[in-house]
Amino acid sequence: MLLAVDVGNTNTKFAVHDGQAWRGQWRASTDARRTADEYAPWLTQVMALSGLNLEHVTACIISTVVPQALFNLRNLSRRYVGAEPLVIGEDGVKIGIEVRIDKPREAGADRLVNAVGAYIEYGGPAIVIDSGTATTFDIVGADGAFEGGIILPGINLSLQALHDAAARLPRVEIRDPGRVIGRDTVSAMQSGIYWGSIEMIEGLCRRIKAEYGAPMKTIATGGVASIFEGAFPSIDHFDQDLTSRGLLEIFKRNGGAL
């Protein structure tokens, strides 16, 4: 089985594929200090709940936007999987797509993996919206190339900044408040973040499509995306498996077999 690890700034996602299907997916908070010997018992337990055994994992692929976390995850693969992991962005690891931006080495590993996952499932051209610590809009060309995009603060980060900067504004749950005009502080903040995010994403998708000049599919993924499912007229697909699918495809493109 393959262990696919996607390290984000806030959460790290572990997923296991047996060659036919994804058998389980689990999230842990990202902590670069967590050692391989700490990951292993946790993974053993959560895999056991799904009827899986860490001893049956034979390969590992890692995508990370937190470089400090790589050392311990590499050791996890070496010690407990018994394999040297493929690491997105390292020399010799083929992504299999052209990176058509001015500084290709600046493209984040997560964005490239999402581009691969989106293209093999939905084709191109496409817009991939990933809602996490940052919200990113990535452009996938008709031939699968990564063609750039937009980066802006994520929803939770925006809420945290608002709370930190304004002493009297509380932390609030992200949800549809049921109306646009808030009748108290909490509902006003919920309306701002919920409807403001929707209008921002709708507006940026409209501008991207106008500038690109061709019909584009729009795919949303990431930990926050599910909160908005059904609320965006411009989004064609909500796909929480997008990154895992991209990692699996890159594993195969580098000669991996299960």
Say whether 164 is catalytic.
no
**165-201 burial, b for 16+ CB within 10 Å, e for fewer?**
eeeeeeebeeeebeeeeeeeeebbbbbbbbeebbeeb
Alpha-carbon distance of 172 to 36, in angstroms, equals 35
Residue in 6, 37, 110, 236 annotated catalytic? 110
Q: Residues 6 or more apart from 191 whose CB is under 8 A from it?
A: 177, 179, 180, 181, 182
Number of H helices, E strands in the chain: 6, 10
Tokens coding 37: 């010997």
96, two tokens: 């299999």
So which residues are the catalytic ones?
Answer: 110
